[in-house]
Amino acid sequence: MLAARPASIVRQKDMSAAWRHVDFVMVAVVAMTSMFGVAMVYSATRTGTDPWAFAEKHIVFAVIGSVAAAAAGVIDYSKYAQWSRLLYLGGILGLIGVAIPGIGALHNGIRAWYEVGPIQIQPAEMAKLTVTVAVASYLGNQTEGVGLRHTLTVLAMFALPIGLIMLQPDLGTALVFVVMCAAMLLVSGVPVRYLLVLGLLGVGAVTTILTSDTLDEYQKARLTTFVNPDDKSDAALKASYNTRQAQAAISLGGLTGKGYLKGEFTSGGSVPEQQTDFIFTVPGEELGFAGSALLLTLLGAIVWRAWRAAVLARDEVGTLICVGVIAMFMFHVFENAGMALGIMPVTGIPLPLVSYGGSSTLTAFVAIGLVLNVHMRRFT
Amino acid sequence: MTDAQVARSRLTIVGIVCMSLFATLFARLWYLQAIRTDEVVKSTRALHIRTLHSEGPRGRILDRNGKVIVDNEIVRVIGIDKQQARKRGLGDGDPRTPDTDEEVATRNAEFKELAGVLTEFGFPTKFTTIEDLFNDVRYGPNDFVAVIGRGVPEDLEIYLGERRDEYPGVEVRVRTVRTYPYGELAAHILGYVGRITDTELKAKVEEQGEPGAPRSAAAKPYGIEDEIGKSGIERSFEEYLRAVPGDERIQVNAKGQKIATLRRAELQPGDDVWLTIDLDLQRFAEQQLANWVRSRRGAIKGCDPRPCDAQEGSVVVIDPRNGDVLAMASYPTFDPSLLVNGISTDLWNQMTTGLKPMLNRATSEAYAPGSTFKLVTSLAALKTGFITPQTTIQDNGTYRIENCRDMRCTRSNAGKAKYGTVDLQKALTVSSDVFYYRIGDQLWVNNGTFGPSPIQDMANEFGFGQQSGIELPTESPGLIGTPKFLAAAYDKNPKAWDHREWTTGDNLNVSIGQGLVAVTPLQLSNAYATFANGGTRYVPNIATRVTRRIDLLNPSDGPENTQVVKTFLPKVAAKVDLSNLEHYLTMFRGLLGVTQRGNGTAEEAFNASPTEWPMAGKTGTAEVTKKSPATGTFEKVADTSIFVGWGPAELGTPATYAVSAIIPQAGFGADAAAPLAFSILRPASKGTLPPVGKPTVVLADAAAAPGEELDGTVAEPGQATTTLPDPNAPLDGTVGAPEGVTGPTGPPAPVNATGPTGGDQAVLPPQTSKVRR
C-alpha cells in the first residue's frame, strides 16, 4: 500500500502521461541490438593499432543516438508534422550543400559528407527522416483520400532528394528513398492502379538505367555480378571478390561459429569494409547461425514493434511515419545482410544500429525515437 | 472500405512483405552455414594459407682427405618480387584475384623494357617469357620469380639498382649455385644438378609432401624452382645433399598480406658427403687416361693389323681391403659447371650422343673382358675338377674343336704363338688361349657332368652380370650369357640372333671373355680385388660418410667442427670360396708372372714403369666389330686394350690397390691398358702422387670451354658454342658404340632385356670371335 502511493502521486502530477506508454520492449530490443553492434564493431576493428579506436567511437555514437532518440520523443510528432515544410527544406538544402565541391567532402569518388573537424555528417541520412516526416504529414492530412495529384506530389517530394543523392552518387541510399516512397504510398491508400503503373514505370526505369551510362562501370559490375555469378571476366571477378569473401566468412562460421574474436577472416581483415558494409559477416563467422539468427531476430523485433506502432497510431500521420521508418529499416537490413549473404547486389549501405558510422547510427536512433513517439502518444 | 480499413489491410501487406524478407534472410543464412560450410572450409583454406619456400644451399662434396670438390657460390639473379609488384601497381598474376587491365598494361610496358635491357646486357630475353613466368600459376602471389637464374654481371646489377623506381618489383637477389673448384675433375662421379622437372616434382611431392606441408619430419619438400641431383653423387646422395628448406606456412588476408605464421621449418643447409675418392689419385688417373687414349691412334705398336683409333676409356682403382673406390676415371669427360644454369639443346645433344661425354663408362658401360676373364674360367675349371694345377696341355698355337664338322673348327692363339707344355700357371702368365679353349670345349661337351654353366656361375660369384651396388645411378649389370639366356633372348627376338641353342663355339668364346660376356670396368676391378683379398667381395663404396658442420661460420671440416650424420662401412656382397690354397697359389703365381716373369704378357710394360711393389694381374685384348657407317655391315676394328691387376702382390701383405683399365680400339692389352695402369699405380705405390694443387677458381657462368686449361678466365656469358673435349677426336658417326650400346641408337639390341648393356657385341655370331693373347 505504501509503495503504491508514490505511483499515484506521479499519476496525479501527470507531467508526461505519454511517457507511461513507452514501448519498453522496443527500448530493450534496441538497447540489445546496439550493444550487439558494439561487440561486432570491436571484433571487426580490433586488429588495428588501437583496438578500441572504432568501438569507442561507436559507443559514443550510440549514447548520442539514445539521447537524440529520447529528444525526438519529447515533442509530440504532430508538432513535427506542422514543421514538415521547414524540415523538408532543411533536408534538401543539406543535400544541395553537400553537392557543392569545396563544401561537401569527397571520399572514394562520392561527395556525400560534411566535414566538421573530425566529425563527418552525411546529410542523406538526416534527409531520410525529414522526408519521411514531411511526406507522412502531407499524405496523412489528406482527408478526402489520396488521388493522382497527391501521388504525383509525393513522387516529386521523393524525386528531389533521390536526384540529389544520385549526384553524389550513392545508389544504395537512393534506393532506400525509393522503397520508402513505395511503402508510404501503398499504406496511404493510393489506388491500386496507380501503384501498378508506378511499378511498371519502376521496372522500365531500372532497365533504362542499367543499359544507359547513368551508372558508373563499377556500379553496373556490382549489379551484374550479382545477377550473373558465373561471369569469370576480370572485372566481374574483381567486383564479386568482396561478396565471395563475405559468403566464405559466413559459411566458415557454421552453426555455432568460430567463437567471438576467433574468426580467421574477421581477425585477418579478409573481408573488406567489414565494420560497415559487411558487418554481418562478423556474427556470421564468429557466432555462426546461432548468433546471426539472434541478430536477425532482434532486428526483426524492432520492425515488428514499429509495425505494431503503425497499427496502433492515433492518426494517419503517425502510421505513415512508422511505415517510412519500417521501409527504411527493412531495406537497410535486407540489403546489408542480403549482400553479405550473396542474395543482394553490393550497394554499401549500413546495418542499422550495428554498423560502425555516426550518421547512420544517429539516424537509426532518431527513427526509433519517432516510432516510440508515435507509439506512446497512441491514446492522446 | 474506409480509409482506416484500407490502411489496415495495406499495413498487413507491409507486415507480410517484411516477414517474407526476414524469412529469405534466414533461409539463405541456413544454406550458407549449415549446408555449404564443409565445401567452403576446404576452398578457403587454399585461398588464405600460403607457403614461403626457400631452398637452402646443398651440401658440399669432399674427397676422402677433405678436399672440397663441389662447393657453393653465391651469385646474383634477377627476378620479380610479386609482392612488390602488386604494391607498385603491376598486379600479381594470381588468377584468384584478377589484375585490372591497367595493372596488366603497366607491367607489360615494364616487362618489355626489362626484356630490352636484359637482352642488351647479354641475356637475350623475350618480353613474353617474363610475362609467362609472372603468370605461371605455380608461383604464389608473394613469390620471387627468377627471370635470369644465373649469375648476372655487376654492371647489370648496378644498372637496375640505380633504376629501382623505373622497374618496380624487379629485384636482384642472391642465390647459391654449384661450383667446381677443380673444374672437370671427377665430373662423372659427381654428376650435376639441375632444375627439377615436372615429372620429378610430381614424384617428390608424392614422396616428401609439399613445401610447408612435409610428409614427415625428415622430409625435404621441393618447390618448382628447386635444384635436384640429376646424375652421379648429386643424384644418388640427393637425400643428404639437399638442404632442409626454410618453409614458412603463413596466413594472409584479403590483400595478400601476412597476418600470421602457422608453421615454420628452420632452413638447414644440406649435409656434406665425403667420397672414398683420393683426389690426387683421381686427378692423376684422369690425366694418364686422357694421355693414353689420345696417344693410341694410328698404326702404332700393338695396333696391327688394324690401326688404332682410341676415343674413350676408363680406369677404376679400388682398395681391396674394403671396397673403397679410390679413383674412377672415364674419358671423354665434361664440365659440370656448364650445366649449372641449364644448358642449350645443342650442347646437351653433343654431351649425350656420339661419344657421350657424360656417360660414366666405369659403371654404365660394359665391355668384352677378353683374357682378363680367364680368372673366372680358371677357377671354374678348378672347382669342377676338370683341371688341377698340375694339368698340362701341348699348346702348338691352335686348338681344334673335337667332333667338329663346321668350317671354323680351329681356333688360334694371338699371333699363332706356340707355348709348348702349358699348365694353369703358365697359361695365365703367357695367356694361352688354347689352354682355355680346351676348358671351354670340354666343360660344355661334358655338361652332363659339369653342369650347363660352370664358368658363368663362377662369374656370378665374382659379381659379373649384376649391378655391383655402388651408390651411383645408372649402373650397368653387364652380361654373362648362359644357354638359358641365349634361348630366351632368341625366343624374344629371333631376328637378332643367328642361333638359339648354345654351341661349343659359344662356350669357347665365354672361356676367353668374348661373345656373350660384357663387364663394366668397376666389376672387373672389383672381381680382382676380391681375388686379391682372399675371396671377400665388397660392394664398391663411393662415400665414406656424411657430415654436418657444427658451427657454420667456422670453415673447418675437422672432427671438432663436424657431426657425423652417417658412416658408410664396408659392405660384404658375397664370399667367394678360395680356400683351396694350392689352387689359389697357382692362380696367384700365374697372375704375378704376368708382370714378373720374362714370358709374362705385361712384363715389358711393368718394367717400363715399375711400382714400388710387385703387381699381379692380367692383360686382355678383346676383339670387337663395329658397324661401319659406310657399308652398314659389321667390320672388325682395332682391339680393346684391357688390364686388371692388384698390388702389392706379395703373400702375407694385404693388397691396397686393385686397378682396371680399358681403352677400346687401342690394341693389345699390354700396349695401352697395362702401361696405363702401371703409370697410375707407380707414383701411388711410392707415395709420390703429384698433389692436385690449389683449386682453380671458376665462376659458375664463366667456366672455360672444356678441353682448355681451366685458368679462371671469364668466358662470354651465354656463349652458345662450346666445343667438346678433345677437338681432334671427330665423332666417327658409327651407329652405336662397339661394346654395350647404352643409348637408343643402333640396331635392335637383343640383350636390352637384361639391362642397358649388350648391343652389337652380343649380337655377333660366336664364330666371328677370334682370339688374342
The model's pLDDT over A302-334, given as tens digits with 9 standing for 90+, comes to: 999 999 999 999 999 999 999 999 999 999 999
β-partners of residue B174 are B76
Least confident of A42-56, A216-230, B282-296, B674-688: A216-230
Q: Kindly determine whether residue B32 and residue A250, on different chains, have CB atoms separated by under 8 Å.
A: yes
ipTM > 0.90 for the complex: yes
The predicted pLDDT at position B672 comes to 95
The whole-angstrom distance between A218's CA and the closest CA on chain B is: 12
Give B-chain residues touching A311 at CB under 8 angstroms: 8, 11
Which pLDDT does position A239 carry in this prediction?
61
Of B303 and B661, more confident: B661
Q: Do A189 and B18 touch (CB under 8 A)?
A: no
Of the candidates A251, A265, A341, the beta carbon closest to that of B37 is on: A251
Query: pLDDT at residue B767 above 60?
Result: no
Q: What is the mean pLDDT of residues B352-363?
A: 91
Give per-residue pLDDT as tens, B383-432.
Answer: 999 999 999 999 999 998 877 776 678 888 888 889 999 999 999 999 99
Best A46, A143, A233, A264 residue to mutate vs chain B (most B CBs within 10 Å): A264
Q: How confident is the model at residue B751 (pLDDT cuts 50, 70, 90)?
A: very low
Q: What is residue A31's DSSP assignment? A: H
- Predicted pLDDT at B761: 35
Per-residue pLDDT, A235: 56
Of B14-18, B167-171, B290-294, the range with the lowest mean pLDDT is B167-171
Among chain B residues, CA nearest to A182:
B14
Verify whether the Cβ–Cβ distance B33 to A255 is below 8 Å.
Answer: yes
> Percentage of chain A surpassing pLDDT 90?
54
The chain B residue lying nearest A281, using CA atoms, is: B29
Residue B103 Cα, gap to closest chain A Cα (Å) = 12
Segment B443-482, tens digit of pLDDT: 999 999 999 999 999 999 999 999 999 999 999 999 999 9
Decide if B262 touches A, using CB distance below 8 A.
no
B-chain residues near A199 (CB < 8 A): none
Mutate to test the interface with A, among B6, B12, B14, B135 (most CBs of A within 10 A): B14
Tell me the whole-structure pTM to 2 decimals. 0.63
CB contact (8 A) between residue A338 and residue B28: yes
Lowest mean pLDDT among B301-315, B598-612, B750-764: B750-764
**pLDDT tens digits, residue range B199-235?**
899 999 888 888 877 888 788 999 887 889 999 999 9
CA distance linking residue B666 with residue B311, whole number of Å:
9
CB-based contact B22 A234, cutoff 8 Å: no
pLDDT recorded at residue B437: 95
**Which of A265-277 are b and which e, b meaning 16 or more Cβ less than 10 Å from the residue's Cβ?**
bbbbbbbebbbbb
User: CA B656, CA B321: separation in Å to the nearest integer?
Assistant: 6
Bridge-based pairing state of the strands B313-318 and B657-663: antiparallel
pLDDT tens for B231-250 read 999 999 999 999 998 888 88
Amino acid at B664: P
Higher pLDDT, B211 or A179: A179
Domains of chain B: 76-173 (no CATH), 279-535+576-768 (3.40.710.10)
- At A252 the pLDDT is 86
Shortest distance between the Cα of B219 and any Cα of chain A, in A, equals: 29
The grid cell for B119 is: 637482352
Cβ of B28 and A330 within 8 Å? no
Nearest CA in chain A to B39: A251
Which of 5-44 (A) contact B at CB < 8 A?
Answer: none
- List of chain B residues whose C-beta atoms are within 8 Å of the C-beta of residue A341: 25, 28-29, 32
Question: Which residues of chain A does B98 touch, with a Cβ-Cβ cutoff of 8 Å?
Answer: 234, 237-238
Beta-ladder partners of B394: B421
B32 contact residues in A (CB cutoff 8 A): 247, 250-251, 284, 341-342
Contact B101, A234 (CB under 8 A): yes
Q: Rounded to whole angstroms, what are the CA distances from B552 to A35, B323, B562, B695, B736?
A: 58, 32, 10, 21, 48
Q: Which of A241-255, B54-68, B616-630, B745-759 has the lowest mean pLDDT?
A: B745-759
Residue-wise pLDDT tens digits, A140-166: 888 888 889 999 999 999 999 999 998
User: Which pLDDT belongs to residue A208?
Assistant: 83
- pLDDT recorded at residue B375: 97
Chain B residues lying within 8 Å of A250, measured CB to CB: 29, 32-33
Whether B728 has a pLDDT exceeding 70, the answer reads no
Q: Do A284 and B32 touch (CB under 8 A)?
A: yes
For residue A2, pLDDT over 90 is answered with no
B7, B11, B28: residue with CB nearest A341: B28
Q: Per the CB < 8 Å rule, is A271 touching B254?
A: yes
In chain B, the percentage of residues whose pLDDT exceeds 90 is: 52
Long-range contacts from B711-717, C-beta under 8 angstroms, 24+ separation = B716/B122, B717/B122, B717/B123, B717/B150, B717/B151, B717/B153
For chain A, the average pLDDT equals 86
Q: Is B423 helix (H, G, I), strand (E, B) or coil?
A: coil
Residues in A touching B254 (Cβ below 8 Å): 241, 245, 268-272
- Subunit contact A342:B32, Cβ cutoff 8 A: yes
Query: A145 — contact with chain B (CB < 8 Å)?
Result: yes
Please tell me whether residue A124 adopts helix, strand or coil conformation. helix
The pLDDT of residue B729 is 37
Instruction: Identify residue A324 by its one-letter amino acid code.
Output: G
State how far the Cα of B545 lies from the Cα of B131, in Å rounded to an integer: 45
Domain ranges across chain A: 26-41+52-376
Grid coordinates representing B770 are 677370334
Whether the CB of B33 is below 8 Å from some CB of chain A: the reply is yes
pLDDT at B716: 34
In chain A, residues with a C-beta closer than 8 Å to the C-beta of B11 are 187, 307, 310-311, 319, 323
Task: Note whether B614 and B650 are within 8 A (CB).
Answer: yes
Average pLDDT over every residue of B99-110: 84
End-to-end distance of chain A based on CA atoms, in angstroms? 29
B102 min Cα distance to partner chain A (Å): 11
Predicted pLDDT of residue B587: 96
What pLDDT band is residue B2 in, cutting at 50, 70 and 90?
low
Q: What mean pLDDT value characterizes chain B?
A: 84
CA separation for the pair B538, B572 (Å, rounded): 4
Residues of B in contact with A289 (CB under 8 A): 29-30, 33-34
Contacts of B37 in chain A (CB under 8 A): 251-255
pLDDT given at position B695 = 64
pLDDT, one tens digit per residue, over B112-156 is 888 888 888 888 888 888 888 888 776 767 778 888 866 778 788
pLDDT above 50: residue B311 = yes
More confident position, B528 or A122: B528
Partners of A334 on chain B (C-beta within 8 Å) are 21, 24-25
Identify which of B6, B28, B98 has the shortest CB distance to residue A234: B98
Residue found under cell 653342369:
B451
Half-sphere exposure of B452 (CA within 13 A, CB side): 10
Half-sphere exposure of A68 (CA within 13 A, CB side): 19
C-alpha dihedral (B524, B529, B534, B540), degrees to nearest 10 = -100
Whether B553 contacts chain A with CB within 8 A: no
Which residue among B3, B37, B48 sits closest to A189, beta carbon to beta carbon?
B3
Lowest mean pLDDT among A214-228, B173-187, B644-658: A214-228
> Mind listing the pLDDT tens digit for each residue in B695-705?
654 433 333 33
SS3 B52: strand
User: ∠ CA A6-A10-A11 to the nearest 5 degrees?
Assistant: 115
pLDDT at residue A292, as a whole number: 96
Say if residue A193 is exposed, middle or buried (CB neighbours under 10 Å; 0-12, 13-18, 19+): exposed
User: Does the pLDDT of residue B641 top 90, yes or no?
Assistant: yes
A235-260 pLDDT, tens digit per residue, is: 555 567 778 888 888 988 899 998 89
Instruction: Kindly tell me if the per-residue pLDDT of A270 is higher than 70.
Output: no
Give the confidence band of A219 by pLDDT, cuts at 50, 70, 90.
Answer: low
Which candidate from A183, A296, A337 shows the least CB-CB separation from B14? A183
- Higher-pLDDT residue of B658 and B7 is B658
- Give SS3 for B689: coil
Contact A316 B7 (CB under 8 A): yes
Is the distance from CB of B718 to CB of B124 less than 8 angstroms? yes
Q: What are phi and psi of B461, to 5 degrees?
A: -60, -35
What are the two backbone dihedrals, phi and then psi, of residue B251, each rounded to the nearest 5 degrees? -105, 135
Q: Which residue has the higher pLDDT, B217 or B284?
A: B284
Residue A334 touches chain B, beta carbons under 8 Å = yes
Using an 8 Å CB-CB cutoff, list chain A residues near B48: 264-265, 268, 270
Asked if A188 reaches chain B (Cβ–Cβ under 8 Å), the answer is yes
Across residues A176-184, what is the average pLDDT?
Answer: 94
Tell me, yes or no, if B16 comes closer than 8 A to chain A by beta carbon. Answer: no
State whether A341 and B32 contact (CB < 8 Å).
Answer: yes
**A14-53 confidence digits (pLDDT tens):** 545 778 889 999 999 999 999 999 999 999 888 777 888 8
Q: Please judge whether B6 and A189 are an interchain contact, meaning their C-beta atoms are less than 8 angstroms apart.
A: yes
pLDDT of residue A214: 67
Q: Which residues of A touch B24 (CB under 8 A)?
A: 334, 338, 343
Is B552 near chain A, with CB under 8 Å? no
Rounded Cα distance between A76 and B268, Å, is 78
Query: Residue B665 pLDDT more than 70?
Result: yes
A251 and B33 in contact by Cβ < 8 A?
yes
CA gap B170, B291 in Å, rounded: 49
Q: For position A53, what pLDDT does the model report?
A: 87
Q: Using one digit for the tens of pLDDT, what is the confidence trace for A57-108?
A: 999 999 999 999 999 999 999 999 999 999 999 999 999 999 888 888 888 7
Minimal CA–CA distance to B534: which of B570, B571, B573, B588? B588
Extended beta strands in B344-474, E state? 393-395, 398-400, 410-412, 420-422
**Is the CB of residue A217 less than 8 Å away from at least one CB of chain B?**
no
The residue whose grid cell reads 697359361 is B427
Residue A95 confidence (pLDDT):
93
